[in-house]
Amino acid sequence: MKLSKAIFIILLVLIIDQASKIYIKLNYTLTPSNSDPIVDWGKFQLLFYENAGAAWGMEIPGDYGKLILVIFRIFAIFGIGYWLVSSIKKNGHKILILCIALIFAGALGNI
């Protein structure tokens, strides 16, 4: 896969990700506990929560917690970007490059 195709995939996923986040923020309120979900299909429910920390709500305490998370995310993006470019240069498998591009887009969308 060429770098230009990977960049196209990254931009497409990033646009969809950001558009869906903006749509939800503008059209729905945060779901407080014990309230009705946005979508309820039996065992599948869509709720609107905001995570102020990292994965699974883990937060770094203190005044610099958010800053540390942003710096970590930026380093992660550079690392994933390096992995993506090196995989393309080495003619890596298309599925691997696609997966790395999707991970990269997700990381960018979470800064």
Whole-number pLDDT of residue 34? 67
Model's pTM, two decimal places?
0.80
Give the residues across from 41 on adjacent strands. Answer: 44
pLDDT in tens, 72-89: 889 999 999 999 999 999
Task: For residue 14, report the phi and psi dihedrals to the nearest 5 degrees.
Answer: -65, -40
Give the residues across from 46 on adjacent strands. Answer: 39
Whole-number pLDDT of residue 55? 67
Q: Which amino acid is at 30?
A: L
**Nearest-10 crossing angle of helices 65-89, 94-109:** 160
**Nearest-10 crossing angle of helices 3-27, 94-109:** 40
Give the residues across from 45 on adjacent strands. Answer: 40
* Cα separation, 69 vs 85, whole angstroms: 24
